[in-house]
């Protein structure tokens, strides 16, 4: 009897531990790390980020230092430690590509953070308050949506200058619209839940309900959309730099490098190939990670 009772207790403990370990976020993390494409993308993206951070120590050349003893532009050469060659001004392309990764990833992350703060706050407020306030706030979003996206970004850049920090604000200021719509839709379904009605019944302030109950419960779709917004912002910044409206010399980004490489594609193809490969690889990684997070958070797959 004692053995059977002990066995039943152990089985119940094991079952309760398994149930406890099957929360939404723990289960989503487990399924995310079972996605080989997402895990590989995380590893590759981590390597690119680490290379960008360690760029000053990976080459004897500075990103704005020309090599007067080598050809302009020069093909890859191990003797001078020009692993990717040099550009039209004799500067090391390997270091400039890694510094370009710094700028492009920083723009993608910070501009997405700006859009996250604005979009989540705006959408959660509109959805929770509802009524005329919701109608007015979403009509403002519709008006901003009707403006040409690229024209709006270029207008902000012209008005406030082409400072690197203003690029974050300019891109984040136009990327929050879709985020706001997503959060508003989630909020409309969440605010009818019992725990929201209970919080309202005991007199909790609306701002506290939005901050502590509404926003945390919209994080699933928001995280997925963030992973898709980052590559979109990086691509937009690259396009702006390609047009000459983004990062200015001697600082560089992948868009600037691709623009310079496209001008000399026939005579010096390496100037286009290396930054384009880094950009394409980063965009693929973010998209695979986004797909992996979306599948991991999908309740139909639980």
Domain boundaries, the chain: 35-301
Q: In a 10 Å sphere around its CB, with 0-12 CB exposed, 13-18 middle and 19+ buried, how is residue 270 labelled? A: buried
C-alpha dihedral, 102 to 224 to 25 to 200, nearest 10°: 120
Long-range contacts of 27-36 (CB under 8 A, 24+ apart): 27/302, 28/293, 28/296, 28/297, 29/296, 31/295, 31/296, 31/301, 32/292, 32/293, 32/295, 32/296, 35/292, 35/295, 35/296
Dig out the tokens for 231 from the structure: 């590559």
Contact 92, 82 (CB under 8 A): yes
What is the reported pTM?
0.76
If you write DSSP's letter for every residue of 203-244 in order, what string do you get? T--HHHHIIIIITGGGHHHHHHHHHHHHHHHHHHHHHHHHTT
The CA–CA distances, whole Å, from 87 to 39, 71, 186, 251, 271 equal: 34, 9, 49, 14, 7
Report the alpha-carbon distance of residue 204 to residue 295 in Å, rounded: 35
Q: CA nearest 232: which of 177, 188, 185?
A: 177
pLDDT of residue 15: 44
Compute the chain's Rg from CA coordinates.
Answer: 25
What is the model's pLDDT at position 46? 92
Architecture of domain 35-301: Orthogonal Bundle (1.10)
Rounded CA separation 256/301 (Å): 42
Q: What is the pLDDT of residue 5?
A: 47
Q: CB neighbours of 262 closer than 8 A, spacing ≥ 6?
A: 242, 272
Average pLDDT across each block of 10 residues of the chain; the chain has 302 residues. List them in order: 49 45 66 85 92 87 78 72 79 88 86 85 87 89 80 72 70 82 86 79 80 78 81 80 74 82 81 88 88 71 50
The partner residues of 66 in beta bridges, in order of sequence, read 91
The Cα–Cα gap between 281 and 130 comes to: 42
């Amino acid at each position: 009897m004692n053995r059977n009772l002990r066995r039943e207790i152990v089985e119940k403990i094991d079952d309760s531990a398994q149930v406890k370990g099957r929360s939404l976020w723990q289960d989503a993390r487990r399924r995310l790390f079972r996605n080989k494409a997402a895990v590989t993308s995380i590893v590759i993206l981590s390597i690119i980020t680490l290379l960008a951070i360690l760029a000053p120590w990976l080459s004897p050349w500075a990103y704005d230092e020309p090599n007067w003893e080598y050809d302009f532009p020069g093909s890859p050469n191990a003797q001078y430690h020009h692993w990717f060659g040099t550009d039209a001004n004799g500067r090391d392309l390997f270091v400039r590509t890694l510094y370009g990764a710094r700028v492009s990833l920083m723009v993608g992350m910070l501009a997405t953070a700006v859009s996250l703060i604005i979009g989540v706050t705006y959408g959660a407020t509109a959805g929770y308050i509802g009524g005329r306030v919701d109608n007015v706030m979403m009509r403002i979003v519709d008006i901003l949506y009707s403006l040409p996206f690229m024209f709006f970004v270029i207008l902000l850049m012209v008005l406030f200058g082409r400072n690197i920090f203003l690029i974050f604000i300019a891109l984040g200021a136009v990327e929050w619209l879709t985020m706001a719509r997503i959060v508003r839709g989630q909020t409309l379904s969440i605010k009818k839940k019992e725990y929201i009605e209970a919080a309202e019944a005991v007199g909790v302030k609306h701002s506290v309900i939005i901050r502590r109950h509404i926003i945390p419960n919209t994080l699933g779709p928001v995280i997925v959309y963030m992973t898709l917004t980052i590559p979109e912002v990086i691509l937009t910044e690259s396009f702006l730099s390609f047009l000459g409206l983004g990062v200015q010399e001697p600082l560089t980004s992948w868009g600037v490098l691709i623009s310079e490489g496209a001008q000399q594609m026939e005579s010096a193809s390496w100037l286009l190939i290396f930054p384009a490969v880094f950009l394409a690889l980063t965009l693929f990684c973010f998209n695979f990670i986004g797909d992996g997070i979306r599948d991991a958070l999908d309740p139909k797959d639980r």
